[in-house]
């Protein structure tokens, strides 16, 4: 008996030792120093570069974006092979844009003392982390003042009450809203963007500004007009280990790893990511180059200097099917129902759906049951950072399935389950790799849970915990 306890102790000790070794290999543990707290955990960027082996994004020659899409599952950087030069490369610069747009055009700008810029939901206020001394906000700023602010970061606060020393400013605005004259500069080269059919947006930031690790469901194309941008990209297969925020959170589509205080011990799957044999990619995008990022690749973009970039997104072939799942396949119950009633029906709907998935696609159901709550919710619960009680969420369901006009019977619920299952099955055939589809399934589970608890966000985690315990 004593020897059994000794063996058990050695096993536990070896597990702790392995985790400590893994932390050392990744090169980032817990740091509660004042500097890290002030920066909002931006120092975690260095940790991201050590999670996986890194290779360079390949550079190719092409005459159109469409030509480069042959690399549909991998990032690629390309430039024109016909020797033609973009007119914008010669005509655009920070001073010239400031003069041409002028001071009469006012634009919304993210302003922060922290170089790490989080993605904000368009319908909610920027979320500030507790414990971070300097917060960020969105201000309306004359375009010329914005250009001066990113050109001279040490601009005196006496010159503008909105631009202060050491501020990081970030702009992402439709090109047409800045100036139709600027849009005309791009039109002669519209064939370069013919496959995107998307709104052209101008992106400009203070040097050193970096995005949080995030993904897009569309293919993203970035054209570097002036300056340079450093990009770090993780494949979709790494998403489970990068702890995405819940879809009902303002930072949805972002990884939680950079959430302050920076403590990698809260994310054990990230520590073990190297074991999967995956490879991240990086590149420094130079003037005149175009970076194509496939859907679901998680990306960090850092402005090496105060350059100008044009961003656009190419809708994915599965975009309409994803929208239909997330916006039109959420069971919504009568408003007269009590919270207990909606929770009971929602729980029955979700557990029935997952049992169906477990029979047909065991791996998918097992991911949802064993991993979803643990990866998206547990790191947020009980911490001093963001909690789900701070979330402000708009009505997601444009045309939800409803039980308003039919009695609550097992037969009607099964019709709804079959509809949801069929749409999930269709998407599973369309979205590659399979890990990317798991991200969409997780988003769908989040929305079902939110509707089931009548939008009481603090109850979502408990709802999932109860549902998944029924299935284990």
My answer on whether 278 and 347 are in the same domain is no
List the one residue out of 339, 346, 335, 338 whose CA is nearest residue 413. Answer: 346
Give the domain extent around 446: 320-468
- Do 351 and 232 share a structural domain? no
Task: Give 156's pLDDT tier (boundaries 50, 70, 90).
Answer: very low
> Is there a single domain that holds both residue 333 and residue 303?
no
For residue 218, what are the contacts with CB-CB under 8 A and spacing of at least 6?
A: 198, 295, 313, 314, 315, 316, 319
* Cis peptide bond N-terminal to 433, omega within 30: yes
Among 252, 285, 316, the domain-final residue is 316
pTM: 0.82
Q: Are residues 49 and 75 in the same domain?
A: yes
Whether residue 400 sits in one domain with residue 299: no
Q: Assess if residue 18 is contained within a domain.
A: no
Q: Which of 20-34, 91-105, 166-180 has the lowest mean pLDDT?
A: 20-34
For residue 27, tell me if it sits in a domain. no
Out of 288, 316, 344, a domain closes at: 316
Instruction: Give 469 or 375, the one with higher predicted confidence.
Output: 375
Confidence bin at 243 (pLDDT 50/70/90): very high
Task: Report whether 51 contacts 274 (CB < 8 A).
Answer: yes
261 and 335, same domain (yes or no): no
Q: Is 250 helix (H, G, I), strand (E, B) or coil?
A: coil
Task: Please tell me the distance from the alpha carbon of residue 467 to that of residue 463, in angstroms, as a whole number.
Answer: 6
The residue-averaged pLDDT of 238-260 equals 87
Alpha carbon distances (Å) from 409 to 92, 243, 416: 64, 37, 11
Phi and psi, residue 463, nearest 5°: -60, -50
Cα 377 from Cα 343, distance rounded (Å): 18
Q: Do 355 and 260 belong to one domain?
A: no
* Single residue among 316, 349, 371 that ends a domain in this structure: 316
**Does the residue 17 lie in any domain?**
no
pLDDT tens-digit readout, 40-93: 334 446 788 889 999 999 888 765 555 555 566 789 888 765 555 566 767 788
Helix (H, G, I), strand (E, B) or coil at 20: helix
Q: How confident is the model at residue 409 (pLDDT cuts 50, 70, 90)?
A: low
The reply to whether 327 and 311 lie within a common domain is: no
Name the domain count of the chain: 2
244 and 326 part of one domain: no
Could you tell me if residue 5 is inside a domain? no
Residue 394 has pLDDT above 90, yes or no: no
Question: Is residue 382 in a domain?
Answer: yes
Is residue 222 domain-shared with residue 367, that is, in the same domain? no
In a domain, 67, yes or no: yes
Q: Which pLDDT score is estimated for 46?
A: 75
How many residues are listed for the chain in this entry? Answer: 472
- Are 260 and 344 part of one and the same domain? no
In a domain, residue 22? The reply is: no
Q: Say which residue, 103 or 306, is predicted with more confidence.
A: 306
Farthest-apart Cα atoms in the chain, separation: 83
- Give me the CATH number covering residue 136: 2.60.120.10
Domain for residue 30, yes or no? no
Separation of alpha carbons 426 and 433, rounded Å: 14
Residues 168 and 57 in one domain: yes
């Amino acid at each position: 008996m004593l020897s059994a306890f000794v063996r058990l102790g050695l096993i536990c000790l070896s597990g702790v030792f392995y985790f400590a070794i893994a932390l050392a290999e990744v090169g980032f543990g817990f740091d509660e120093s004042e500097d890290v707290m002030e920066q909002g955990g931006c120092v975690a960027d260095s940790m991201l570069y050590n999670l996986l082996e890194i290779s360079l994004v390949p550079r190719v020659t092409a005459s159109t974006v469409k030509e480069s899409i042959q690399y549909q599952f991998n990032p690629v950087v390309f430039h024109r092979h016909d020797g033609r030069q973009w007119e914008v490369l010669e005509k655009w610069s920070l001073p010239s844009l400031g003069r041409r747009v002028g001071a009469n055009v006012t634009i919304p700008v993210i302003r922060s003392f922290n170089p790490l810029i989080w993605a904000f939901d368009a319908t909610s206020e920027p979320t500030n982390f507790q414990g971070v001394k300097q917060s960020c906000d969105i201000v309306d700023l004359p375009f010329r003042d914005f250009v001066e602010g990113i050109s001279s970061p040490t601009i005196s606060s006496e010159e503008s009450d909105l631009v202060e020393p050491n501020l990081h400013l970030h702009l992402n605005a439709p090109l047409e809203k800045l100036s139709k004259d600027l849009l005309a500069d791009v039109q002669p080269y519209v064939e370069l963007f013919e496959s995107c059919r998307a709104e052209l947006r101008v992106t400009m930031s203070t040097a050193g500004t970096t995005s949080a690790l995030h993904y897009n469901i569309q293919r993203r194309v970035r054209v570097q007009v002036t300056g340079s941008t450093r990009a770090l990209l993780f494949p979709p297969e790494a998403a489970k280990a990068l702890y995405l925020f819940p879809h009902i959170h303002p930072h949805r589509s972002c990884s939680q790893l950079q959430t302050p205080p920076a403590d990698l011990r809260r994310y054990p799957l990230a520590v073990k990511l190297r074991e999967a044999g995956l490879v991240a990619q990086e590149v420094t995008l130079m003037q005149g180059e175009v970076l194509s990022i496939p859907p679901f690749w998680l990306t960090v973009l850092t402005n090496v200097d105060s350059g100008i970039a044009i961003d656009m997104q190419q809708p994915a072939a599965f975009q309409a099917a994803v929208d239909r799942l997330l916006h039109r396949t959420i069971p919504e119950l009568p408003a007269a129902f009590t919270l207990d009633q909606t929770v009971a029906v929602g729980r029955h709907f979700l557990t029935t759906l997952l049992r169906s998935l477990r029979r047909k696609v065991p791996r998918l159901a097992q991911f949802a049951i064993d991993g979803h709550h643990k990866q998206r919710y547990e790191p947020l619960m009980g911490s001093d950072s963001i909690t789900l009680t701070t979330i402000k969420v708009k009505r997601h369901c444009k045309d939800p399935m409803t039980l308003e006009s039919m009695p609550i019977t097992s037969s009607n619920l099964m019709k709804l389950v079959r509809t949801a299952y069929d749409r999930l099955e269709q998407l599973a055939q369309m979205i590659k790799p399979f890990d990317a589809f798991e991200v969409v399934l997780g988003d769908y589970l989040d929305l079902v849970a939110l509707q089931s608890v009548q939008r009481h966000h603090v109850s979502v985690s408990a709802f999932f915990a109860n549902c998944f315990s029924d299935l284990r």
